Amino acid sequence: MAIQIKAPAFPESVADGEVAAWHKEEGDSVQRDELIVEIETDKVVMEVVAPADGVVKKIHVAVGETIESEALLAEIEEGAVATAPAASAAAVETDSSEAGTASAAAEMGPAARQMVEEHGLNPAEIPGTGKGGRITKEDVSAYLKDRPVAAPAKPAASEASAIVDVPSGPSGERIETRVPMTRMRARIAERLLEATTSTAMLTTFNEVNMAPVMALRKKYKDQFEKTHNGTRLGFMGFFVKAACEALKRYPAVNASIDGNDVVYHGYQDIGVAVSTEGGLVVPVLRDADFMSLADVEAAIVDLGTRAKANKLTIDDMTGGTFTVTNGGVFGSLLSTPILNPPQTGILGMHKIQERPMVVNGEVVVLPMMYLALSYDHRLIDGKTAVQFLVAVKDLIEDPARILLQL
């Protein structure tokens, strides 16, 4: 009996998707819950698995084709077994080698595949550390770093696809590689451009003394981790909770503009920016104001892990009333974060760096962090933005205020 494999039902915020990679070909055997195809949308990469054991009978869409919600992707003959014609020993050995290479090439994400193609690598030689032996971008980078460097041989004139020997000096050929932009990257670019052209974006800055939070972490981090089942006490939890308290005091920063109306949200759904191979994504912590510090830290780790593994759902990515982004993990000392429309505010954290500061007339060295608040000036006045950022600063410099809601 043939079973139809259809694309997932896309929510209203996602118009269509694109077939990113097929992990099976026509005639291949599949097992129940085995990955068949990846669908890339504007927000996430969705995986489609086999509903039953069988053989792929027909593939209806090719890689790169645009599909709509619940479109027919393929058909599976349930209970069938894949068969192959008899062949000579030499042919079998060759086919096995090619099949291994094809299988290895299929079991990798778009970013890893691009690196393999650019460097002319054999996927079968790259050990995969991902789920089910899947080759990741980090695996390709490690392979390139560890493989022995051999002297390049001059390619024959007829080998048009051979590796190019790039001469040095000003007379060298200027090599360029052109690859299509992924749907996620294109959507990110569209959203960033929309934010800069459709909002009156302005950024205000301040700095915060991180010594009190660092002392608190040092004192309680081991006990915190034991009590909360391995959850580590980080900095993001403090800033998310401080942002929630500040948003309650300054509701305009937690609002959004809808046409000629201002929508004030009576809840704090905090988006947390996460960097992935495909680009920056912003999964959302629902009702973050009701979450404990341990809940926030555990949720951030979970969202970050699933984001890097392309396991986030559309629900994880939609909504959000305010965003927190931490460029400090990459070494950024100061930046102006871009708004995530329709939100009207985004808080940027940065690198902690020791600096000489004047305290009570004396110069002392303190671990300081620059904070940046980008906001939509159409709704938020400069006074409100500055007061909001000062509130976050005060809460971080005296963490007990977060608990006492002072």
Locate 228 and state its tokens. 């909360």
Helical ranges in 20-162 per DSSP H: 89-106, 110-119, 137-146
- pLDDT score recorded for residue 189: 83
- pLDDT score recorded for residue 102: 47
**First and final CA of the chain: distance in angstroms?**
66
60 classed as catalytic:
no
146 classed as catalytic:
no
Environment class of 297 (CB within 10 Å of its CB; exposed 0-12, middle 13-18, buried 19+): buried
Of 350, 376, 381, 398, which residue is the catalytic one? Answer: 381
Q: Are 19 and 42 contacting, i.e. CB atoms less than 8 angstroms apart?
A: no
* Residue-level pLDDT, tens digit, the chain, 406 residues: 778 888 877 765 666 778 878 888 888 888 888 888 888 776 677 778 888 888 887 888 888 788 787 788 888 887 666 555 444 444 444 454 444 444 545 466 666 776 777 777 888 788 877 766 778 777 777 787 776 544 444 444 333 333 444 455 555 567 778 877 777 777 778 888 888 888 899 999 999 999 999 999 999 989 999 999 888 998 999 999 999 999 999 999 999 998 889 999 999 999 998 887 777 788 999 999 999 999 999 999 998 888 888 788 888 888 899 999 999 888 899 999 999 888 999 999 999 999 999 999 999 999 999 999 999 999 999 999 999 999 999 999 998 888 776 6
Phi, psi of 384 (to 5 degrees): -65, -45
Going by DSSP bridges, is the β-strand pair 17-22/66-67 parallel, antiparallel, or unpaired?
Answer: antiparallel
CA distance linking residue 254 with residue 314, whole number of Å: 22
Q: Are 283 and 317 contacting, i.e. CB atoms less than 8 angstroms apart?
A: yes
The model scores a pTM over 0.85? no
CA distance linking residue 41 with residue 184, whole number of Å: 7
